[in-house]
């Protein structure tokens, strides 16, 4: 059944050495998805604006996320020689393509939040039957 | 342009206090995506089988990921009273729904790995023009 999860070119995210694993690591990151979401709503944003839009992100994490997205060709960074320097970020065509995928994930979250909240309530209610600490009954 | 990234019910992943942020945190995790991928290829797997399929995952991380997926109603855990106990995992209907979203992300990775590798090569080649350490020129 490997054809379900690999592709005709032989890529396989389940293999830690496959380059696509790195791509999954990157694009599946929460902050990547949120930065791409912010740049979907507002096509051009400065660092300080992005930091306000992506509620909860630290300066360090936003810096790192933007650096990685720029390196991977998904975000374009433009610096203007003002004092202090003005830096703007926007999605590249590849970034817009990723944005469509992020849109699918975001819509899934919006569509299923209530089902997940119900599942959590059921899980909590059934707590006495749940397994103990990690490892105690999970191995097989 | 907020209508692009929020939804009619008012959910907003960019808001750290919105419950959908938690959902995005969860489903956007690399290990979540890889466990769901493994359970798409093979519908029923034991813990030890999952650990082999999801190359690179530690026992601790796999245990935690499965626990969270079970709590969120996406994975069903069945224990059989063998010695030692046999535990099997499979996707629930909600988990299969998530699997379709994960499929989109995985296909995006497979389709764009070469473009990303090219972008990285360009970024490396242009290194002398790149900004210094985090924070030095990124704020705006």
- Nearest CA-CA distance, residue B5 and chain A, Å: 6
Query: With pLDDT > 70 as the criterion, what percentage of chain B qualifies?
Result: 87
Between B19 and A132, residue with greater pLDDT: B19
Write out pLDDT tens, residues A108-131. Answer: 999 999 999 999 999 988 765 555
Write out pLDDT tens, residues B86-125. Answer: 999 999 999 999 999 999 999 999 999 999 999 999 998 8
Q: Please provide residue B105's backbone torsions phi and psi, each rounded to the nearest 5 degrees.
A: -65, -45
Q: Quick one: B112 exposed, middle or buried, by C-beta within 10 A (0-12, 13-18, 19+)?
A: buried
pTM for the whole structure: 0.83
Q: Quick one: A58 exposed, middle or buried, by C-beta within 10 A (0-12, 13-18, 19+)?
A: exposed
Interface predicted TM-score (ipTM) of this complex, two decimals: 0.81
| CB contacts, 8 Å: B125 with chain A | none
Residue of B7, B104, B106 lying closest to A5 (CB–CB) = B106
| CB contacts, 8 Å: A66 with chain B | 138
Half-sphere exposure (Cβ direction) of A69: Cα atoms closer than 13 Å: 33
The strands making up A45-46's β-sheet, listed across from edge to edge, are A45-46, A86-91, A75-80
Query: Which token pair is A85?
Result: 């320097």
Backbone φ/ψ region at A76: left (φ over 0), alpha (ψ -120 to 50), beta: beta
The reported pLDDT for the residue numbered B1 is 41
Cβ–Cβ below 8 Å for B135 and A54: no
Domains of chain B, with CATH numbers? Answer: 2-126 (1.10.10.10)
| CB contacts, 8 Å: B15 with chain A | 55
């Amino acid at each position: 059944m490997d054809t379900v999860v690999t592709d005709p070119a032989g890529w396989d995210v389940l293999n830690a050495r496959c380059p696509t694993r790195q791509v999954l690591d990157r694009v599946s990151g929460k902050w990547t998805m949120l930065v791409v979401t912010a740049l979907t709503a507002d096509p051009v944003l400065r660092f300080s604006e992005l930091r306000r839009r992506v509620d909860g992100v630290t300066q360090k994490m936003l810096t790192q996320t933007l650096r990685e997205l720029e390196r991977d060709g998904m975000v374009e960074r433009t610096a203007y020689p003002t004092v202090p320097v003005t830096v703007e970020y926007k999605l590249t065509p590849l970034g817009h393509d990723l944005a469509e995928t992020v849109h699918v994930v975001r819509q899934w979250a919006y569509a299923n939040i209530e089902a997940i909240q119900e599942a959590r309530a059921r899980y909590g209610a059934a707590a006495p039957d749940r397994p103990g600490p990690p490892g105690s009954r999970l191995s097989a």
